[in-house]
Chain A
Amino acid sequence: MARRHVEEGVFKVLMAGAALILAASLALILGTILFKGLPALNVAMLISAPKGGYYLGKDGGILNAILGSLAIGFGSTALALALSLPLVLYLNIYLKKRSRLALAVRFFLDVLWGIPSIVYGAFGFTVMMAVGMRASLLAGTLTLSLVILPIMARSMDEVLKMVPFGLKETSAAMGATRFETAFKVVVKQAYPGLLAAVLTAFGRGIGDAAAVLFTASYTDFLPYSLFKPVATLPLAIFFQLATPFPEVQERGYASALVLTALILAISLTARWFGRRFTRHVIR
């Protein structure tokens, strides 16, 4: 058989293998949290805060962490979006393709993306100490927004790079300013990709434990102030799994299930509501 056909065959096996490994890991993870978490999941867990002795196996729930995670997740996503969108529109519409500034910004975003979130947590903590701020919902949100900013910005950037040059040119040829081109044409065309970028960043943020460990801290109370500590689901999972009691550990898996379901639900909702904006996209 010719070498080229062998190549083709080997590559097919590699692709199928890679796909299989990915699908299997996903199935395994989901299977584990479903299998171990589902029996421990109940309504009380979803609608109440931890009561005394919750981590020893007594009554209560993880509503504190659910609400805390939602607050921090939405807050940091909104903040990151408020910075990312103008940034990537600037990179892709105001700057030209081979702009040095754009290259530099992309490089730094890539570096920031690579920094582990615990380092952001430590950095956030240092800044908090310097300005005399306590661990709080606000501090956690700000730190987490820094973690997800490069992820969101670079993903959006890649999406905007794919918008055909002809669209920008056409809009400009009509006399549109770059601002009008950005919001009336480019954002509309790139909408599905931009939404995916936001959701990726949101999922990454709401699932992050390290950045909020020092900055948002943890509490058994429901979130009630920007300036007080809040609980988050990843840390709730950690604390419950770290106990020696099997029934509490099971609740840890149930919490993981809740977190996963939450991200899935928010993703699907956003896509469902965003549907009507995608019908004009040019393929």
Chain B
Amino acid sequence: MNVEYRMEEIQLEAFPHIQVQHLTVAYGGHVALDDISIDIPERCITAIIGPSGCGKTTLLKSFNRLIDLQDEVTVKGRILIDGEDIYDPRTDVSALRKKMGLLSQRPQVLPMSIYDNVAYGCRIHGIKSRRTLDKIVERELRSASLWEEVKDRLRSPAARLSIGQQQRLCLARGLAVEPEVILGDEPTSALDPLSAERIERKFLELKKDYAIVLVTHIIRQARRLADYVIFLYLGKLIEHGPADEVLNRPKHAKTRAYLSGHFIEDASP
């Protein structure tokens, strides 16, 4: 019954926030993503799963055009966010990236103080008032449950925090600009189990307000968090659907093989 209920909830709110249409991404001659088409629902956690090198991160980073920074990258197809093609030459990339908060694999703090890390995005996007910034920094650090640990040393270098604290700081920094979508690129992979759990719980809280897209190679993490699952293999979209279906009753042999830990190439089609 519970499953049914959840499915309905998804259906009701499943106005596709991100629509991927025939997306093909290549680095030089290497095709990283091959003709992917998919809709990513709002107010859900969508997990992108699959073995290393299958294009999970490429897909994630094509949502905020971060793949633009790579050498010799070519993108074909379209990605619509709120109905607008983000690869249109007229797209304001800065505004797009503000909308899409990214939490990367290893916490990447910026070479500045804890305070300035959180305020970085806000300052870029035009918030100058000291009082407003103070408020935002406190609010976001509290929300990332980091405030109590750092409130007396907001001016000290962010690099001095522990890895787990750094990742929470990165989360606070990402949320400070009030994005619409949160992109997580295996955000717990560098963390100890307790820090990882904190981030996961935070994600469950955040999905009330945000669409979350999470790249993970931990199947149990996908089971814990995901409402919707996308399985990629060697740049191809193999299967996608509600988490319960893909994770428990996969239709495709490759998905079954991956989930059960067998060699995928052995899977009969």
A positions within 8 Å CB-CB of B:
96-98, 164-177, 180, 184-185, 188-189, 279-283
| Chain B residues in 8 Å Cβ range of A188 | 111-112
The answer to whether A167 and B173 have CB atoms under 8 Å apart is: no
The answer to whether B111 and A281 have CB atoms under 8 Å apart is: yes
Contact of A96 among B66, B71, B113, B173 (CB under 8 A): B71
State the Cβ distance, B250 to closest chain A Cβ, in Å: 32
The answer to whether A166 and B108 have CB atoms under 8 Å apart is: yes
Contact of A172 among B97, B112, B158, B174 (CB under 8 A): B97
State the Cβ distance, B19 to closest chain A Cβ, in Å: 21
| B69 contacts A by Cβ under 8 Å | yes
- Known contacts: A174-B120, A176-B124, A281-B111. The answer to whether A169 contacts B66 by CB under 8 A is yes
Contact of A173 among B72, B97, B158 (CB under 8 A): B97
Nearest B residue to A278, CB-CB: B111
State the Cβ distance, B233 to closest chain A Cβ, in Å: 25
Among B98-106, B132-140, B141-149, B235-243, the stretch in contact with A: B98-106
- Known contacts: A166-B104, A174-B98, A175-B98. The answer to whether A189 contacts B69 by CB under 8 A is no
Taking A174-B173, A184-B112, A279-B157 as given, write out 7 further A-B residue pairs in contact, using a Cβ cutoff of 8 Å, ordered by the A residue number.
A96-B71, A169-B66, A175-B96, A180-B124, A188-B112, A281-B111, A282-B110
| Chain A residues in 8 Å Cβ range of B97 | 172-175
Interchain Cβ contacts within 8 Å, total number: 82
| Chain A residues in 8 Å Cβ range of B72 | 96, 98
Q: A55 CA to B104 CA in the complex, in Å?
A: 68
| Chain B residues in 8 Å Cβ range of A97 | 71
The answer to whether B102 and A173 have CB atoms under 8 Å apart is: yes
| Chain A residues in 8 Å Cβ range of B113 | 280
Nearest A residue to B100, CB-CB: A173
State the Cβ distance, A179 to closest chain B Cβ, in Å: 11
The answer to whether A172 and B66 have CB atoms under 8 Å apart is: yes
Q: A165 CA to B96 CA in the complex, in Å?
A: 21
The answer to whether B104 and A167 have CB atoms under 8 Å apart is: no
